[in-house]
Amino acid sequence: MNNFWMKLASLLIAVFLAVVVNFYFVSNDNNTSVLQFIVPVEVKNIPAEKMLLLPVNRQVEVTIQGPSLFVSKFASTNPTLKVSIPSEVKNKFIAPLRREDLKAPPEVQVVSIKPSEIEFTLDTRITKEVPVIVPQIGQLPENLKLVSIKAEPDKVKVSGPESEVKAIKNVESLPLDLREIRESGEQNLAVRVPGSMSDSAPRQISVNVTVNSVQVEAKYEQLAVEIRSLRPERFSLSPARVNLEVSGSKEAIKNLKPEEILPYVRLGEESKPGDKVKVGVDLPKGISLVYINPEKVDLIAAGDKPKAPAKTNVKK
């Protein structure tokens, strides 16, 4: 029985305190608060073919008044003002900002909204295709020369407001750093944003870079021509030596030795004295023949005297 009276007393005390708190915080005029805060403006129902350009910072200053408890609670919900764009809108629209659109509880009064209206600027969204330019920075190492730079794809689609996209003639990728290239290959580069309100698709391209080694030439004179034959007869050549020019990278030409250059003629089953025989040349890897003089020599019998050999000269 004692527990019953204790529980009843506790309940009466709780009810009394609730009445006091409610009276103090809600009904007491001395506890009224006025609060100014910034509210974002949410724009809805923008037509698919339109883009919202201005204002960029869509927010207003709102002043509310009411019991402190309700004022602070409402402000903490981060309220927004919703504005709906009509479907037949052109490129300008003035939207009035109504207090009831803030959806404040009945205990909170919306005193003011500043500004009371917002002018929106819109534009038609368009898409067009433009070429991609790959800018370059730096220089290739001195032993390389640039053959080609090809972007894949070489065009991208640019989308955005008509007033901006119309002025875009091309877009650029991030720069290609020639200083880092050592051989032919492919790099992926991002496409720069073409405008403040436009975008491109795709946003990344592949760049194929082709380079060759810088070629230098070297001349060799009076190199002996080797006869390559499986036949038992012995032959000679006239002239027995040739002049030629070869090309290759600077390093390859620098390290090239005359004994690595092997002019030769190859005799077939039907070869006979008096024939003009084409001269071939065996060269090390990375070295190519520019010219040889003469291109053909006379095949003579072993007993005949070929032209007198001269000293081998090298000109690089």
Instruction: Look at residue 213 and tell me whether its pLDDT is greater than 90.
Output: no
Separation in Å, CA 218 to CA 221, 224, 247, 262: 10, 17, 6, 15
195 contacts 125 by C-beta, under 8 angstroms: no
CA distance 9 to 242: 127
Query: Could you tell me which of 74, 102, 174 has the C-alpha nearest to residue 132?
Result: 174
Count the alpha carbons within 13 Å of 172 in the hemisphere toward its beta carbon: 6
Q: Which residues contact 151 (CB under 8 A, 6 or more apart)?
A: 132, 134, 173, 205, 206, 207
pTM of the model: 0.58
| pLDDT tens per residue, range 23-82 | 444 444 458 899 999 999 999 999 989 999 999 889 999 999 999 999 999 999 999 999
Domains, the chain, with CATH or none? 28-115 (2.170.120), 125-213 (2.170.120.40), 215-315 (2.170.120.30)
pLDDT of residue 193: 87
Span 210-224, average pLDDT = 92
Span 219-224, average pLDDT = 95
CA distance 9 to 27: 26
pLDDT of residue 12: 60
Query: Could you tell me which of 268, 257, 261, 270 has the C-alpha nearest to residue 243?
Result: 261
Instruction: Look at residue 111 and tell me whether its pLDDT is greater than 90.
Output: yes
Instruction: Look at residue 112 and tell me whether its pLDDT is greater than 90.
Output: yes
- pLDDT-derived band at 316 (thresholds 50, 70, 90) equals low
